[in-house]
């Protein structure tokens, strides 16, 4: 059944999303790449080609409910039953709480939390008809810990974790698993825009592995959670892929 998997990846044209698409294709599965950025879509299409007929591309704004419904229908029209979803679309901006505007907060809320929920809800409706499916939401360690400058971003990602838990409980009887991945800092274009040299040094000093993740580190975890043969009894969980950041205590220079 592995070669019959069809996975929709939002935000799939760059960064973590694109790495997940590549990992899905490497498994022999089919990937439907949805992204709001047309330039990124064109670039990823050029890079991936047709991948043996196993990849398709579509423009999608996850805040548009009608567009989400149409995108999922197009995915199933092209590839048949949707078996997996990865919600990787997201935006981020770092700012102190007292400098965070309501507009900034709302923009991240719409994309990161409400957008992820709407796509998961519509995908689950399709999966429920067949009694099987796996949904993976990309959260963040900033949704678990009070990271400085992440009041809006962290709140939305914390919301993603709660959405994951509630949907996992409600959909378990329908054979649908819902999990989240909480990455630490990842070497992506988005992080390179947000993280100053000072922020980068601060992150490295608190990560036991003393490095940022690669996008492939996150993609491997996503494939594990999508594959029911490997994670069929895993649901409602948040897998931290963070080099040990969320469990670290005191770290002396000798252990660095």
Question: Nearest Cα to 85, choosing from 30, 40, 137?
Answer: 137
Q: Give the Cα separation of 155 and 138 in Å (integer).
A: 14
For residues 59, 64, 66 and 71, what is the CA-based torsion angle, rounded to 10 degrees?
30
Identify the active-site residue in 32, 153, 203, 245. Answer: 153
Q: Give the Cα separation of 251 and 165 in Å (integer).
A: 32
Strand partners, 148: none
Q: Which two structure tokens, joined as six digits, stand for 240?
A: 């931290």
CB contact at 8 A, 218 and 16: yes
Which 3 state secondary structure label does DSSP give 16?
A: helix
Listed in sequence order, the residues at least 6 apart from 226 whose beta carbon sits closer than 8 Å to its beta carbon are: 5, 7, 24, 84, 86, 134, 136
Q: Give the Cα separation of 45 and 42 in Å (integer).
A: 5
Q: Which two structure tokens, joined as six digits, stand for 29?
A: 């599965």
Active site residue 233: no
Q: How many residues does the chain have?
A: 256
Active site residues: 153
């Amino acid at each position: 059944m592995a070669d019959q998997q069809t996975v929709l990846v939002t935000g799939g044209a760059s960064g973590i999303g694109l790495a997940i698409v590549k990992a899905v294709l490497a498994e022999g599965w089919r990937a439907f790449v949805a992204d709001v950025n047309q330039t990124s879509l064109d670039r990823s299409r050029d890079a991936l080609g047709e991948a043996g007929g196993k990849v398709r591309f579509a423009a999608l704004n996850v805040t548009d409910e009608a567009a989400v419904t149409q995108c999922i229908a197009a995915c199933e029209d092209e590839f048949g039953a949707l078996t997996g979803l990865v919600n990787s679309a997201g935006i981020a901006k770092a700012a102190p709480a007292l400098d965070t505007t309501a507009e900034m907060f709302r923009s991240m809320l719409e994309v990161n939390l409400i957008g992820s929920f709407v796509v998961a809800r519509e995908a689950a409706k399709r999966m429920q008809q067949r009694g099987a499916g796996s949904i993976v939401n990309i959260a963040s360690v900033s949704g678990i810990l009070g990271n400085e400058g992440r009041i809006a971003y962290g709140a939305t990602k914390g919301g993603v974790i709660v959405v994951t838990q509630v949907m996992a409980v409600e959909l378990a009887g329908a054979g649908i698993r819902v999990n989240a991945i909480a990455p630490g800092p990842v070497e992506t274009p988005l992080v390179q825009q947000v993280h100053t040299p000072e922020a980068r040094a601060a992150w490295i000093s608190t990560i036991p592995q003393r490095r940022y993740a690669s996008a492939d580190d996150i993609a491997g975890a996503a494939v594990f959670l999508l594959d029911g043969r490997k994670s069929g009894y895993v649901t409602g969980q948040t897998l931290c892929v963070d080099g040990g950041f969320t469990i670290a205590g005191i770290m002396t220079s000798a252990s660095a």
